[in-house]
Structure 1
Amino acid sequence: MYDYSDIVVEEPVDPSPLCQILYSDEFKQLIGIAKALMRSNEHSERALKITERVIEKVAAHYTIWSYRLSIVKGLQNYPLDKELEWCGQIAVHNPKNYQIWHYRSLIIQLILERFGSFDLKQEYPLLEKMLDQDSKNYHVWSYRRWLVERFDLFRDTNELKYTGKMLEEDVRNNSAWNHRFFVLLGDKKTLTNDQIQAEIEYVMAKVDIAPTNPSSWNYLKGIYNKLNMDVTNLQPLATKYSNLNSVHSQYAFELLAEIFEKQKLFDQAIDVYALLEEKDSIRKRYWRWRSSRLSF
């Protein structure tokens, strides 16, 4: 236990605000002590403890996160691995909080500055635990993306295997598709023809599993656009799933219309856009506009 008896907690300037937040007395006391310590710029173990208690109550209090970081930086002998462990515990109990992950990245940066290296292996159990709870947790995926960028994990086998595992579990997991695209094509390095072909075959197999899934179609088109490849090569796939007499996909029709435009087969493209007006009534006016561009 730490002694805070010397801390004077100031009363609010306006004791009767227009919209008063009903904080508990315990929280008022905690935040009052924290604010007093911030004003005096105290970087101590007891200051660190009070930030821990405030964050346990309100994990989104970014001012307290900022203060905690300054304390950790000021305590030269404070074990940073212990800080990451604590941060992970807070994350598990606050899965939708984004401040935790930004803070974690800053602690890792601090470790790199002080020691020159960081063992990435310790990150994966936490990330997998979080994504097992919510496979589309935006904050966790964003942090994982930061790790890829910071540690140059582009085309990393483990990252690709992990997205593959997630897509095996749910082929419609757009978060996993986005991450895979970034891992594969997020830097400026050139892929080999074998790598490109292998990925195209991988995505086509996923399209076969769920032809009405927009994520795999968009991913496939994204590869072609990113690498300036000829999208007309996808015509057999688009035709396969735009046959009105069999299983069809709105997204196959979209791709087919795009291909017809590339081939300057405008009449065929207009016919497909007319079908899309029927199949995708929410975007009916959009498809009508796409068609009108070709009517001359």
Structure 2
Amino acid sequence: MHGRLKVRSSAEEAARKRKEQEEKAQKFRSGMGRILLKKVSDELDDEMMELTGRILTSNPDIATLWNLRRRCIQKMVLEEEEDFKQGLFDKDLNFTEMCLQVNPKSYCAWHHRCWILENAPAPNWQKEVDLCTKYLKLDERNFHCWDYRRYVVEKAKVSPEAELEFCTEKIQRNFSNYSSWHYRSKLLPLLYPNLNDPSLPISEERLRGELELVLTAAFTDPSDSSAWFYQRWLLGYSQPELDIAAFRLDTERQVAVVAFTRPVNLKLEKVRLTFDLSKETDQKLEWESATDDNYCVTWILRNVQTKPSDQSSTLVSFLDENGKTFTLQAEKHSPCSFIGIKKPKFGFEFGTAVLDVLKNQLESCQQLLEYEPESKWTLLTAALLMKAIDRAGHHAEILACLEKLQSVDPMRKGYYRDLTSRWNIEHRLEQWIDQANYAHKVDLSGLKLERIFYEQYLSVADEIDLGANQLSEIALNKFAHFVFCKRLSLEDSFENGEKAESMVKRLCCGLKELTVAV
């Protein structure tokens, strides 16, 4: 009938779409063919800009075409009069905005925009900040735009106070905003540093307010993880800062080992590690990675030539690639042995006021669990809060939470098992370090360990008991760090005891006693 839209059958619709795709593909092949020919002949002209523009407006993720546009602009700038150079950059800036409307998360388009501004004679940085504000109104979780905003804000000299206010506004509008929470964690240490304890990222007064904000966000939607992740940062459960973790020197065996909280490369030219008992103070010591990796947490020095000395300690000094110096005092533990361990921080140590806030939050979590006993984020947060309040006193309750999480959230069972292994090792390792008797064995037996963590601290131990665990074959690689271990028990810890025994003997050269049974 006249005036009525004909409804295509599914077969007709499929054929129509196929024809459209073929036409698009043909235009793309034709355009790319012409572009590549011009590239070979180095024709960086207006036609090249037009050809690349046609394709990028429909698909802005072709890095080659953006590179060609940059080459074209560089050539045109050399040929253009001074008064018109800015216009070339402004035109391509507008072009990237068109491309971002096609794909607001195009890495290539955002990168090209940065390049334009860096090379333009008179970039308008405040205009870029305003553009980010506009884009984040349309999609407040576009992490590409958040990254770009951090870049242009620095160039535009926008104050951290103004940016924190912007973040707060975005979070209050929508708590489920990972990028805004993350940006907040970068701004707060600038505005509210902890002057009394630099190891804490922000002042305790501000921390109390942030914890309250997190609680409001988390309890508004307990199933959303963004606020819970931010809370982990507040509680100190993030990557440890670089530092010397442990050191041991055996003058009789002429072996030294140094371990770090994070992987480092001691072979870099700028990096230097020395200790005042070494004869070789005028040349760089030849340290070897325990795992043969360029970056490693444990490093070994063999054939150590030491000075005759009756010193009771030796100072270990490490200069990193950024020029920062770290030190550790190693004490004499026997006539031929110096050992030093810097006790790891398994989270922040809080004052009474913050601990009261954490206890109130733990109580709130427990109340929520009465109504939603299988809320995974609440369970995990309860465990993290107990660990922050009193990790030793709450250890059994923390493990019970992790055990329950394995059944409540089976998709992440491996993660909860890893946390169980990590926190069990922390518990026993802390006890061993507090004893300050490093000749005594490190008892890690019967903990249901599947993986080994904090291997750098075990590098100075004489005896390690890892019996009655459930170690996977992946854990075997960690034994390369046990440089000074003489006695090692792996009884009932591996399914394939023979394979484990063979590999451990190869990795632990100093072993005198090894127990491996199934």
TM class, shorter-chain normalised?
0.7 to 0.9
Q: What per-residue deviation string (whole Å, max 9, x for no partner) do you get for residues 140-197 of structure 1?
A: 23322433566676x723322332232223212223222332343589x765555544
The answer for the alignment partner of 1:245 in structure 2 is 370
Q: CA deviation at 1:216?
A: 1.1
Contact 1:257-1:269 within 8 A present in 2 as well: yes
Separation in structure 2 between the aligned mates of residue 256 and residue 109 of structure 1, nearest angstrom:
45
Q: CA deviation at 1:202?
A: 3.1
Residue 348 of structure 2 is matched in structure 1 by 229
TM-score under structure 1 normalisation?
Answer: 0.74
- Contact kept, 8 Å, 1:98 with 1:139, in 2: the verdict is yes
Alpha-carbon contact 2:359-2:389 (below 8 Å) kept: no
Corresponding residue number in structure 2 for 1:159? 163
- Higher deviation after alignment, 85-94 or 53-62: 53-62
State whether residues 387 and 395 of structure 2, in contact with CA within 8 Å, keep that contact through their aligned partners in structure 1.
Answer: no
Higher Rg of the two aligned structures? 2
Structure 1 residue 208: Cα displacement = 4.1
Structure 1: 5+ residue runs without aligned partners?
1-20
Give the CA RMSD over aligned residues. 3.5
Could you say what secondary structure the match of 1:109 adopts?
helix
Q: Does 1:124 align with 2:129?
A: yes
- Find the counterpart in structure 1 of residue 71 from structure 2: 70
Aligned residues: 271
- Contact 1:62 1:99 (C-alpha < 8 Å) held by counterparts: yes
200, 205, 221: which one pairs with 2:216? 205
Provide the C-alpha distance between the structure 2 equivalents of 1:107 and 1:224, rounded to a whole number of angstroms.
Answer: 40
**Which residue number in structure 1 is paired with residue 145 of structure 2?**
140
Whether the 8 Å CA contact 2:383–2:398 is kept in 1: the answer is: no
Aligned residue number for residue 255 of structure 2: none
Question: What is the aligned-residue identity percentage?
Answer: 21
Q: What is the CA-CA distance between 1:98 and the residue it aligns to?
A: 1.5
Structure having the larger proportion of residues in strand? 2
CA distance in 2, matches of 1:22, 1:88: 26
Q: Secondary structure at the match of 1:96?
A: coil
Per-residue displacement from partner, 1:1-28 (whole Å, max 9, x unpaired)?
xxxxxxxxxxxxxxxxxxxx98644333
Q: Where does residue 398 of structure 2 map in the other structure?
A: 269
**Residue in structure 1 matched with residue 412 of structure 2 by the alignment:** 283
Tell me if structure 2 keeps the 8 A contact 1:212–1:250: no
The residue identity in structure 2 corresponding to 1:74 is: K
In structure 2, the partner of 1:8 is none
1:254 deviation in Å? 2.9
With the length of structure 2 as denominator, give the TM-score of the two structures: 0.45
* C-alpha spacing 1:184/1:42, structure 2 compared with 1 (3 Å): farther
Q: In the alignment, is the contact (CA less than 8 A) between 2:31 and 2:55 conserved in 1?
A: yes
Name the counterpart of 1:29.
30
Cross-structure match for 1:98 = 107
Which structure shows the higher helix fraction?
1
Unaligned runs of 5+ in 2: 1-21, 78-83, 195-201, 242-346, 428-445, 448-518
What residue identity is the alignment partner of 2:31? L
Residues in 1 aligned to 2:228 and 2:152: alpha-carbon distance in whole angstroms: 27
- In structure 2, relative to structure 1, the CA distance for the partners of 1:206 and 1:24 (3 Å cut) is closer
Output the CA distance in 2 between the equivalents of 1:99 and 1:211: 36
1:108 equivalent to 2:117? Answer: yes
- In 2, Cα distance between equivalents of 1:66 and 1:285: 43
CA distance in 2, matches of 1:230, 1:137: 35
What SS class does the counterpart of residue 242 from structure 1 fall into?
Answer: helix
